[in-house]
Amino acid sequence: MCSLPLQAQGLTAEFFGGTAWSLPTTLRIEQPSESAIRFRARYRTRPWHGSPYYAYRLGYRQWSAELVHHKIYLQNSPPEIEHFEVSHGYNMVIVSRTMPLLEQSKVFRIGIGMVIGHPEGSVRGKPINPVRSWLGGGYHIAGVGFQAAAGPPIGVADHWFFRPEAKLTAAWARMPLADGGTATVPNIALHMLVGFGYRSTH
- Give the pLDDT score at 191: 98
- H-helix or E-strand containing 165? strand 160-176
DSSP-assigned letter for residue 132: -
Closest CA to 91 of 156, 10, 18, 173: 173
Angle at 61 between CA 55 and CA 65, to 5 degrees: 30
- Give the pLDDT score at 7: 46
Q: Do residues 45 and 22 make contact, with C-beta atoms less than 8 angstroms apart? A: yes
Of 13-27, 133-147, 184-198, minimum mean pLDDT range: 133-147
Highest-confidence segment of 128-132, 134-138, 174-178: 174-178
Please, what is the average pLDDT of the chain?
91
CA distance 148 to 190: 10
Indicate the pTM of the whole model: 0.90
CA distance 5 to 89: 34
User: Taking 80 as the threshold, does the pLDDT of residue 3 lie above it?
Assistant: no
